[in-house]
Amino acid sequence: MTDMDVPGCFGGLLHPFRKILRPKPKWQEVQVPTAGEDTLQQPVDTKRADLQNGPAPHYLSCCEFGYGFDHDNLSILDQPPSYTPKERSAYRSDVSTTIDSIIDRLNPDLRELSLQIHDHPEIMFQEKYAHDTLTAFMADHGFAVTEHYLGLETAWKAEWSNGTGGRVLGINSEMDALPEIGHACGHNLIAIAGVGVALAIKHAMQKHDVSGKIVLLGTPAEEGGGGKVILLERGGYDEMDACLMCHPSPGPKCSAAISSSLSMQPIEVEYFGHPAHAAAFPWEGTNALDAAVLAYSAVSVLRQQMKPDYRVHGVIKGGDLAANVIPDYVKMVWGVRTPTKAELEVLRDRVKACLESAAVATGCRVKLTLGRPYYDLRMNNVLGREFENAMLQHNFQTMSDAGAARASTDFGNVSYALPSLHPHYAIPTEPNGGNHTAAFTASARTPEAHAATLTVAKGLAMTGFRVLDDADFYAQVKQDFDDMKAQ
């Protein structure tokens, strides 16, 4: 598989409790002042010329962030959010005021940036417009920009330092859209969230005289290409002491969640047989389609022995086959998912055995190609509590330990390498209009979604600022990461 061929991100299994979690009342419109904007809910063109090539090779539909599958959590979401302060007050209210004011001041510019990216959707590894637009924006705001970062044409790095020494905070902005339906996972919002966090922390570091460095990475191809995994392999995260990002999803108004995700291993299997006339000389053929059917059946039998939270899903790729010819070639694409990386390695080998044994049984030759795995998200508990506390100051309820989303992301690999936080947050959606639907594409363009994104950016910025400012706090962050790594 090439970088373009790795299936990934958020696997197409919808969260079992999405209907319960969907907010019943329609959100009240939030006025977001933007100069020269007549309407904010224009119809989305899902037939753009740059998406007409269809899904990328071996593409798997992605991205359904729910708020976990623990029944105990559901009653919480049926209640009004509680804004009672926790044991400790907010960290440095003076810094919070600075961050809030900067993001509020940037609001019109960030809104325009979001709409530009939303209205120019680009699939994985083709995010050229987003790359150019975002790098120009960051350069205009005083960041040193590296385009085409680490050999990826649409990756980029924007960095800014203050003083001498200090820690390095990483932030991620995603950019890629989905084939045919555009920004149906809200990566235009993720892009501006990263930008807003970076700029807010920059101004706070200047005003409050804090040393350190900010690194904002533009990460391509979350929707199947494993862009962050590639950047991680090439050293793009090596200098960071912690890394932050966020993701939109359906959910109750003014809510966010901190949950894990599923590890995922993409597998491509090819069966090679021998053609023959299916009526005249079938005994002279070696049937590759039989191997695929047998493999599919073997995996289906395996499911009886799989744990309830394991997932294996696959398809037979389309081909121009004739019914009267023994097929000599068939390709299948599979996704194997488990709650943890360790479990993934075990289940992956069992699935491989099913696929390989089908070739033995039918006399076919088999070729298995393993794509880059996506690991489960290992949320840093200390960063999560800090984010939760920061969001309470903005009347946002954050569910911590919200179970595992029925999804996968390449940021999971980052979370295995360094302390990381990846909260997901609610934007208003239509019924049955969750991630990876055309309805979510429209939702990602609304002023309400934009307002929620900026609020979450404020919470992330406060969390990231404390990483840079408070050595004792970062020691706790690092200890939590080390403890998790030792498990």
Q: What is the pLDDT of residue 318?
A: 77
Cα–Cα distance, 338 to 180 (Å, whole number): 29
| Segment 258-273 mean pLDDT | 96
- Cα 236 to Cα 164, 223, 263, 376, 423: the distances in Å are 21, 19, 21, 20, 22
Judge whether residue 106 has pLDDT over 70. Answer: yes
**Rounded distance between C-alpha atoms, residue 360 and residue 430, angstroms:** 49
Residue 457 clears pLDDT 90, i.e. is over it: yes
- Give the residue-averaged pLDDT of 185-210: 99
pLDDT in tens, 345-401: 999 999 999 999 999 999 999 999 999 999 999 999 999 999 999 999 999 999 886
Helices in 120-247 by DSSP H: which ranges? 128-140, 187-208, 227-233
What was the pLDDT predicted at 119?
98
Element (H, E) at 471: helix 471-486
Kindly list the distances between the CA atom of residue 106 and the CA atoms of 192, 198, 207, 262, 300, in Å, as whole numbers in the listed order. 10, 12, 17, 35, 52
| Mean pLDDT across 141-160 | 99
Strands 311-316 and 329-338: antiparallel
| In the chain, where the domains are located | 3-261+376-486, 263-370
Contact 50, 475 (CB under 8 A): no
Confidence (pLDDT) at 131: 99
At how many degrees (to 10) do helices 187-208 and 447-469 cross? Answer: 40
Neighbours of 484 (CB within 10 A): 15
pLDDT in tens, 40-99: 333 334 333 333 333 333 334 345 555 433 333 333 344 444 444 444 567 999 999 999
In our burial notation (b when 16+ CB lie closer than 10 A, e otherwise), range 141-173 reads bebebebebbebebbbbbbbbbeeebbbbbbbb
Amino acid at 268: E
Average the pLDDT over 1-19 and give the result.
40
Residue 208 has pLDDT above 60, yes or no: yes
Please name the amino acid found at residue 110. L
CB neighbour list of residue 70: distance below 8 Å, 6 or more residues apart: 402, 403
* Per-residue confidence band for 487, with pLDDT thresholds at 50, 70 and 90: confident
pLDDT digits (tens, 9 = 90+) for 115-150: 999 999 999 999 999 999 999 999 999 999 999 999
Tokens in use for 411?
């940021």
Residue 183 is given by DSSP the state: S
Distance in angstroms (rounded) separating the CA atoms of residues 153 and 146: 11
Instruction: Give mean pLDDT, residues 432-455.
Output: 97
- Helices 128-140 and 187-208 cross at an angle (nearest 10°) of 20
3-261+376-486 folds as: Aminopeptidase (3.40.630)
**CA–CA distance, 369 with 381 (Å, rounded to integer):** 35
At 101 the pLDDT is: 98
Return d(Cα 352, Cα 357) in angstroms, integer: 8
> Does 273 score more than 70 pLDDT?
yes
What's the whole-number mean pLDDT along residues 402-417? 87
Within 167-281, strands assigned E span: 168-174, 212-219, 242-244, 247-249, 255-257, 263-272
- 27-36, 181-190, 419-428: lowest mean pLDDT where? 27-36
What is the distance between the alpha carbons of residues 231 and 16, in angstroms, rounded to a whole number?
A: 33
Q: What is the pLDDT of residue 25?
A: 38
- Whether the predicted pLDDT of 1 surpasses 70: no
- Written in H, E and C, the secondary structure of 335-384 is EEEECCHHHHHHHHHHHHHHHHHHHHHHCCEEEEEECCCECCCCCCHHHH
pLDDT of residue 317: 92
d(C-alpha 162, C-alpha 149), whole Å = 22
Q: Are 62 and 223 in contact (CB under 8 A)?
A: yes
| Residue-level pLDDT at 164 | 94
Of the listed ranges 14-18, 176-180, 185-189, 447-451, the one predicted with least confidence: 14-18
- The pLDDT assigned to 484 comes to 95
Please, which residues have CB within 8 angstroms of residue 318's CB and are 6 or more apart in sequence?
none
| Each residue's pLDDT tens digit, 280-326 | 999 999 999 999 999 999 999 999 999 999 999 999 997 789 999 99
Residue 402: pLDDT band with limits 50, 70, 90? low
User: Given this model, what pLDDT does residue 320 score?
Assistant: 86
Pick the CATH number of 263-370 from 3.40.50.1370, 3.90.1200.10, 3.40.50.1970, 3.30.70.360: 3.30.70.360
Average pLDDT for 229-248: 99
